[in-house]
Structures are given as C-alpha cells and as structure tokens.
C-alpha cells in the first residue's frame, strides 16, 4: 500500500515515515501544500495523510481541491490545533478522519488501517497457483511450505500479486514499492526480484514471476502463458 504524507515539519515527517515503512507501507513525503497537491494528482496513492498547517497552501485547501478534482482516496488530517472548528472545517473539506498532534504512532496506525479497511476492497488474501499470501498475518505460503520474506520482498510480492497478469515496468515497481526516494536508474528492482524469485520458486517446477525482456516483470502461472 502506498501512502502520501504531506507534512512540512521534517522531524514529524521522518517519524511517521519510519514507522509506516516498518509496517511495510510505501511512503512518499511532500513538504508543502502545492507539492502535496501535485503528487496526489499525478500518482496513485492508497491513502493521503495531510497536515493542516502547511506552507503554500494549507491542508484544508489541498483537501478541498483534491475532492473538487474527483480524487476520493481516503484522507487523514493532522493538526496541532485541537479545536472543534478546525475539526469541522477539516471534515467539511472532505477529509475522512482527523488526528490531533501530538499523537502516539499506534493511534495513527490504527486510524490508517481503519480507513483503508473502510475505503479499499477488503482483501485479506492474495493468491496465484499454489502461492498464497495472508495479508493480515503477513505470511506467505507456497503449497504447504511457508516462505520467509523480508519486508521489502513482501511489499514487492504484494504489489506484483495485486497486479497479476499485468506487465509492470521497473519504474512502476519502484514508485509503488519504494516511492520516489529511488531513481529508476538503480538496479534495486532486479536485485529484489531475483531474491524474491529464488524464495518463491525454490524447489518448485512452476515459475510464477516472469521477466518480460526490455519491459519489466509479470506475475502469472505457467498455465496462463
């Protein structure tokens, strides 16, 4: 899952990002209102965390503009101002939920999970052939054998499986699994695909992750070839 965090306070942004990355979310940070608006309208995020007090354009204006453009992804507003008016203003602008700073990370995480459950198709399991991914327990099985993955490998597998049958370019994979922090010039995708593929295919005849030469990667069973 890919989250856009619009927050100008660097230490707060770093704290939230670090926690979410540990939970295997992909996080992109925008440091002001206009940048947040641009990123939210040009890339596909599953959820947006929007600080209210932002340079350039405040969070309420960003939220109104996004809703006006028909972007209906869940928006969680953050603010240091604990006042009823701000809360009402935030929710009226189209935000789905509201969290007052300072907050415990566990509270933020709980709100994010609740919003994602409410607004995205509830899928607790992804599968292909005899490969099964339990998204809630974050465990992966091939047949009866459990496959132990790193956090990044898990995110990568989840993204590939959510798009099974579709060819994904390295740029798409980087944007959705690593975020904008990595330039498409790196070979990070190939390195992770290699290790993921070894784990997923090891000891099995059927290959599930395929290279599309010159383009990228696709996940599909041999039967679909």
Q: Which residues bind Ca ion (CB under 5 A)?
A: 8, 51, 53
Going from the C-alpha of 170 to that of each of 78, 149, 154, 165, 222, the distances in angstroms are: 33, 20, 17, 16, 22
- Closest distance of CB 215 from Ca ion, Å: 41
User: What is the C-alpha separation between 186 and 182, in angstroms, rounded?
Assistant: 7
**Chain centroid to CA 224:** 28
- Closest distance of CB 90 from Ca ion, Å: 13
- Closest distance of CB 168 from Ca ion, Å: 35
Nearer to Ca ion, 51 or 89 (CB): 51
Contact (CB, 8 A) for 13 and 37: no
Orientation angle between helical segments 151-162 and 188-201, nearest 10 degrees: 80
Nearer to Ca ion, 66 or 173 (CB): 66
Nearer to Ca ion, 76 or 209 (CB): 76
- Closest distance of CB 8 from Ca ion, Å: 5
- Closest distance of CB 51 from Ca ion, Å: 4
Nearer to Ca ion, 79 or 176 (CB): 79
Nearer to Ca ion, 53 or 135 (CB): 53
Nearer to Ca ion, 8 or 96 (CB): 8
Q: How many CA atoms lie within 13 A of 41 on its CB side?
A: 15
User: What is the C-alpha separation between 189 and 191, in angstroms, rounded?
Assistant: 5
Comparing every residue's Cβ against Ca ion, the nearest one is: 53
Orientation angle between helical segments 33-42 and 59-68, nearest 10 degrees: 30
- Six-digit token string for 187: 């070979």
- Closest distance of CB 133 from Ca ion, Å: 37
Task: Indicate the burial class of 204 (C-beta count within 10 angstroms; 0-12, 13-18, 19 or more).
Answer: middle
User: What is the C-alpha separation between 36 and 63, in angstroms, rounded?
Assistant: 10
């Amino acid at each position: 899952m890919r989250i856009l965090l619009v927050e100008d306070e660097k230490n707060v942004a770093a704290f939230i990002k670090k926690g979410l990355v540990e939970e295997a979310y992909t996080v992109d940070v925008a440091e002001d209102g206009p940048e947040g608006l641009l990123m939210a309208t040009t890339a596909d995020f599953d959820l947006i965390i929007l600080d209210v007090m932002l340079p350039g354009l405040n969070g309420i204006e960003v939220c109104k503009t996004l809703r006006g453009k028909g972007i209906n992804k869940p928006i969680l507003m953050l603010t240091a101002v604990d006042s009823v008016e701000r809360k009402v203003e935030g929710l009226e602008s189209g935000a789905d939920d509201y969290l007052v700073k300072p907050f415990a990370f566990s509270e933020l995480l709980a709100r994010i999970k609740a919003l994602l459950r409410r607004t995205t198709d509830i899928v607790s399991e992804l599968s292909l052939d005899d490969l099964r991914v339990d998204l809630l327990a974050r465990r992966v099985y091939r047949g009866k054998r459990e496959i132990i993955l790193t956090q990044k490998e898990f995110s990568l597998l989840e993204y590939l499986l959510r798009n099974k049958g579709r060819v994904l370019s390295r740029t798409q994979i980087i944007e959705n699994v690593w975020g904008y922090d990595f330039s498409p010039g790196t070979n990070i995708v190939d390195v992770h695909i290699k290790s993921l593929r070894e784990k997923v295919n090891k000891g099995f005849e059927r290959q599930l992750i395929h290279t599309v030469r010159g383009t990228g990667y696709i996940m599909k069973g041999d039967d679909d070839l």
